[in-house]
């Protein structure tokens, strides 16, 4: 049975990636009629509802839900995710799914570049080389100076940076904080932040839009669930390459739902980004072994 655990972990991880790609596609669809921040609010508000419902159904003691010794870092993590998702959804309103996803793949390079300063990790020559190559791939996608680049490309870049710093905050918390406690503070914290901001952009919802926002939260909560289950079954280093399966999903969803066909420069830039990311992964695994 233990031999099947890595396979199950990969399966759960791929399901989570599919769910996140579906969230992105649905947020793009909803952002065509709603302000992106209202879509962000719906995502986080409904996600928080599902997290709280899970705590109730599991009859978890209150202390296991919210007890933490690192409240400031928990709030910071929620704020970083708020920035990440807000800029991601806003970028999806103006750009094709595949373009946005390719640019957000830059987040590991921000982690590699900042981990020495923030986490005190040693960043060697190979990591820096991968950062340079990976960011070159991002430049291929956005093509600065070509007349094609628009200010909207800054949104997924900010999202990639936000997600990279979000991951570093997660590393800090993972050593001392239970998973559900961190999930609670992140979901509820983002729901509160987005609720404060959405009043300035609110428009009345019809039933289909409300259902769509609720579905976003359900898929987001499901993605978190499968991500957690995947890391319980398999090592992070084994799962990391499957992050790039998201590009396959978003290309398919972009074509089916929006008639988007990725351009050659997006595919080329994506290949460069993925290759540099896989190089870092293989290098790290070789060093560890």
Q: Please tell me the least confidently modeled range out of 2-11, 95-104, 112-121.
A: 112-121
pLDDT at 44: 94
| Phi, psi torsion values for 154, nearest 5 degrees | -65, -25
82-96 pLDDT tens trace: 999 999 999 998 888
Angstrom distance (rounded) from CA 101 to CA 97: 6
pLDDT digits (tens, 9 = 90+) for 1-23: 445 677 788 888 889 889 999 99
189, 78 Cβ separation under 8 angstroms: yes
Cα distances from 252 to residues 206, 245, 248, in angstroms, run 28, 11, 6
Give Cα 85 distance to the centre of its chain: 7
Residue 116 has a pLDDT of: 64
pLDDT exceeds 50 at position 148: no
How confident is the model at residue 43, as a pLDDT?
94
Could you report the per-residue pLDDT of 149-204, keeping only the tens digit for each?
Answer: 567 888 998 998 888 888 778 777 877 888 788 888 989 999 999 999 999 999 99
Where do runs of H (alpha helix) occur along 143-174? Answer: 154-174
Domain ranges, residue 201: 2-288
Quote the number of domains for the chain: 1
pLDDT-based confidence at 248, cuts 50/70/90? confident
Residue of 129, 149, 130 whose CA lies nearest to 139 = 149
Rounded to the nearest integer, the mean pLDDT of the chain is 82
Q: Given 3-state DSSP classes, what are the helix, strand and coil percentages for the chain, each rounded to the nearest 5? A: 80, 0, 20
pLDDT band at 62 (very low <50, low <70, confident <90, very high): confident
The model's confidence at residue 144, banded by pLDDT at 50, 70 and 90, is low
């Amino acid at each position: 049975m233990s031999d099947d655990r890595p396979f199950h972990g990969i399966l759960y991880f791929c399901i989570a990636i599919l769910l996140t790609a579906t969230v992105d596609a649905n947020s793009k669809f909803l952002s065509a009629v709603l302000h992106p921040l209202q879509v962000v609010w719906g995502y986080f508000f409904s996600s928080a509802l599902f997290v709280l419902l899970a705590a109730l159904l599991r009859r978890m003691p209150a202390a296991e839900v919210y007890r933490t010794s690192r409240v400031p870092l928990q709030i910071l993590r929620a704020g970083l995710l708020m920035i990440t998702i807000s800029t991601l959804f806003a970028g999806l309103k103006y750009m094709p799914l595949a373009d946005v996803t390719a640019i957000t793949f830059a987040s590991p390079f921000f982690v590699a570049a900042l981990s020495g300063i923030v986490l005190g990790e040693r960043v060697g020559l190979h990591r820096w080389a991968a950062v340079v190559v990976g960011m070159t791939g991002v430049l291929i996608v956005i093509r600065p100076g070509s007349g094609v680049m628009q200010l909207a490309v800054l949104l997924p870049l900010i999202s990639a940076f936000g997600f990279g710093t979000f991951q570093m905050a997660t590393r800090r918390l993972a050593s001392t904080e239970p998973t559900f406690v961190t999930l609670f503070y992140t979901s509820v914290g983002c729901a509160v932040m987005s609720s404060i901001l959405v009043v300035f952009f609110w428009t009345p919802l019809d039933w289909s839009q409300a259902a769509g926002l609720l579905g976003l939260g359900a898929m987001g909560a499901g993605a978190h669930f499968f991500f957690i289950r995947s890391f319980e079954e398999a090592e992070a280093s084994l799962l990391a390459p499957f992050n790039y399966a998201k590009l396959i999903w978003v290309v398919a969803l972009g074509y089916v739902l929006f008639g988007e066909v990725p351009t050659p420069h997006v595919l080329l830039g994506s290949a460069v980004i993925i290759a540099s990311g896989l190089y870092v992964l293989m290098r790290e695994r070789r060093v560890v072994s």
